């Protein structure tokens, strides 16, 4: 097992980034390595972190401004070679179709429910980590 899994968290809201960290805890599931977070508050920060490499999954805030997580998701899926899986935070369940449009691998509603979030994050991490090994 890898020493850590690196998860990029994008939101312009520091409280949302904190909710993501708290909901996932030290590790989202017993069969996964501990999580290390890379926090980004801007689109250029997201693109730089992905360019630097080593990101295993992305959590994007669909309500972020000025660049919303759905548009960011679609952009990175188009532009980043071997784009990490994306877990999208959506404002309401009715926005699930937009998450599909953006090519997100999973979507959960915001505010973050810790159990649902940890399960979804574990799923996307397993997808990436099983491909890498």
Give the start-to-end residue ranges of the domains of the chain: 5-132
pLDDT of residue 53: 96
Q: Rounded distance, CA 11 to CA 99, Å?
A: 16
Structure letter (DSSP) for residue 59: E
Rounded Cα distance between 14 and 31, Å, is: 29
CATH class of 5-132: alpha beta
Q: What is the pLDDT of residue 1?
A: 63
Greatest distance between any 2 Cα atoms in the chain: 38
Quick: pLDDT tens for 46-65: 999 999 999 999 999 999 99
For the cut 90, the answer to whether the pLDDT of residue 39 exceeds it is yes
Residue range 77-105: average pLDDT? 95
Q: What pTM, to 2 d.p., does this model score?
A: 0.95
Number of helices (H), then strands (E), in the chain: 5, 5
**Residue range 97-113: mean pLDDT, rounded:** 94
């Amino acid at each position: 097992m890898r020493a850590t899994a690196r998860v990029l968290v994008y939101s312009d809201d520091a409280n949302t980034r904190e909710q993501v960290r708290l909901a996932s805890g030290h590790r989202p599931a017993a069969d996964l390595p501990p999580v290390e977070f890379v926090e980004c508050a801007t689109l250029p920060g997201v693109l730089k972190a992905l360019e630097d490499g080593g990101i295993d999954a992305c959590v994007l805030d669909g309500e972020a401004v000025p660049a919303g997580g759905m548009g960011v998701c679609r952009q990175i899926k188009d532009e980043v070679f071997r784009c990490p899986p994306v877990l999208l935070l959506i404002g309401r369940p009715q926005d699930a179709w937009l998450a599909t449009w953006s090519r997100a691998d999973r979507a959960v509603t915001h505010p973050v429910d810790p159990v649902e979030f940890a399960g979804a994050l574990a799923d996307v991490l397993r997808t990436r980590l099983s491909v890498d090994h």
